Amino acid sequence: MGIVKRLLIPRGVRRATHPVRTARRAVTPRPIKKLSRTAFVVTNPLGAIEGAFENAVVDALRPSRGRRRSNLSATPTGRSAVAREGRYFKALDGQDILEAALNLYRLTVAPSSPPKAPAPLAVDENKARKTVRRNAHPPLFSPRERRRRLRAADELAAFEVAQERGRRAALEADQQQRLDATYVSLMANEPEAVRAAVGSALAAMPLDASVLAVEGSRVDIAVVYPLVDLVPSEAPVITPTGRPSARKRTQTERNDLYAEAIASAGLAALKVAAAAAPEIKRVRLLVIVAQGGGEPVLAADVTRNGLAIADSATARGSLGRAGDALMAFKGRTSAVAVLARQGLVDELLASVERVADAPRHADPFDRAVFAGEQEELAAKFGVRLQTLAPEPPLHEPTQPE
C-alpha cells in the first residue's frame, strides 16, 4: 500500500473503499489468517521484509492503540482458553480414577467353586519327528538305508510323543488331585487353605490388601489405602457457554469423597474375602492409610448375611448395613481422623504386627505353580528329543565313489 497512504488515510476509510475484502477478512477465522500470513512470509520473503519495514515506520510516526497490546495487558496464562482446556483434561483424568475408586464397592463377586488344573501343554508331533529324523543321520546316497532310518525315526518319534502325552496327562491328574484336596480343606475352614484362597483373591484386586488372621469361621483382612491426594483438587466442568474448564473443590468436598472412597475399598475387599471362602461367616477389616508407620482410619466387623443385604446408594451406607463400622472425623471440614487404638482396632493392629514378622507360605491355589510344573516337564522332553535316534544298522553301507 505504501507508507504515505497508511499515514494520511485513516484505516476506516481504507476498509470502506474495499467492502468485499473487508467482509471476507471479518468472517475468516483467526487460525486461517495466521496460516495465510505464514505462507506469505515463506513464499515472499522480500515482500515480508518490506511489509515489516513499513510497519516499523508507521508505528513510529503514528502508534495505533489497537494494533498490538503489550504483554502486560495480555490474557493471563492460567485463564486463557488453552489453559482452561489443559486444566479440564487433567481434572478429567483424575475424575476417572476417583469414580473407579468410588464405585469399587459395587462389584459383584461370585462364590468360589472347585478349581480346575490347567490343561496339559500340547505336544508338537511334527517338531518331535523332525528332531528324531535329524538325529538318525540318513545317508544321501543310499535310498534304501535312508528310507529305513527315516521309518525307524518316525516310529521312535511317535512312541515318544505318546509317552510324553501320557506323562503330561498324569501330571494334570496329579495337579487336579492336589487342588481338590486343598478345596476340601478350604470348605472345612482350615486356616492355611482359607488364608491361601482369600489372599489369592485379594491379590487380584486393584488394592494393597492382605490376610491378617484366620480363626474358626472368621477371617481378618487389612487394606493399605493412599492419602487424600487420591481426590483431585479440581473437578472437570462445562461452562454455560459450552467450554471445558475446571472448578476448585472445597476441602470439605474432598474429605467427603475421600471418606467415601475408603469405605468403597473396604467394602469391596470384604465382599471378595467372603466370596473366596464360602464357609466363612464373619470378616473383619482394618483400613490403614499410608501415613507415617500406617494409621488406622476404618475398622469393620461384618457377617456374610450382612454383606448379602448391604445395598445402599453410598459405600458408607452399605458398609453400615453390612455390620459394625468405625470411622472418625475431625475439624470444620470433616477430615478423616485416625481411630483410637482400642477394642477391635487394637486387635487388628496387633494382627498386622504379627503378620509382618510371619514367614510366607506357598499358595496351593496358585495356577502359576502348576503352569511352571508343566513347562518344566515340556523342557525335559525337548532335551530328551535331542538325544533320541534309531538304532544304527549292523553294517554301515559304503558310499559310492
Residue 192 and residue 331 in one domain: yes
| Residue 135: burial class (beta carbons within 10 Å; 0-12, 13-18, 19+) | middle
Residue 305 and residue 236 in one domain: yes
Residue 169 and residue 259 in one domain: no
| Residue 335: burial class (beta carbons within 10 Å; 0-12, 13-18, 19+) | middle
Residue 367 pLDDT = 80
Residue 62 pLDDT = 59
Residue 10 lies in a domain: yes
Helix count (H) and strand count (E) of the chain? 14, 9
Asked if 112 and 278 count as a contact pair (C-beta separation under 8 A), the reply is: yes
Residue 329 lies in a domain: yes
Residue 206 and residue 318 in one domain: yes
Residue 340 and residue 234 in one domain: yes
Question: What range does the domain containing 171 cover?
Answer: 107-182+372-393
Residue 383 lies in a domain: yes
Residue 223 and residue 177 in one domain: no
Q: What is the dihedral of CA 55, 58, 61, 62, to 10 degrees?
A: -110
Residue 80 lies in a domain: no
Residue 169 and residue 220 in one domain: no
Q: Supply 316's cell numbers.
A: 458408607
Residue 135 lies in a domain: yes
Residue 31 pLDDT = 61
Residue 178 and residue 192 in one domain: no
Residue 97 lies in a domain: no
Residue 7 and residue 45 in one domain: yes
List helix spans (H) across 17-124. Answer: 19-27, 30-43, 45-61, 81-102
Q: Please give the Cα distance from 122 to 105 (Å, whole number).
A: 41
Residue 275 and residue 157 in one domain: no
Angle in degrees, 0-180, between the axes of helices 251-276 and 315-322, rounded to the nearest 10: 40
Residue 119 lies in a domain: yes
Residue 198 and residue 303 in one domain: yes
What residues of the chain score a pLDDT lower than 70?
1-9, 11-16, 19-20, 23-79, 292, 356-361, 392-401
Q: Please give the Cα distance from 249 to 35 (Å, whole number).
A: 40
Residue 69 pLDDT = 45
What total number of domains does the chain contain? 3
Give how far Cα 167 sits from Cα of 121, 161, 174, Å: 11, 10, 11
Asked if 290 and 227 count as a contact pair (C-beta separation under 8 A), the reply is: yes
- The 10 Å Cβ neighbour count of residue 240 is 5
Distance in Å from the first CA to the final CA of the chain: 99
Residue 355 and residue 385 in one domain: no
- Three-state secondary-structure class, residue 395: coil
Write out the DSSP string of 138-168.
--SS-HHHHHHHHHHHHHHHHHHHHHHHHHH
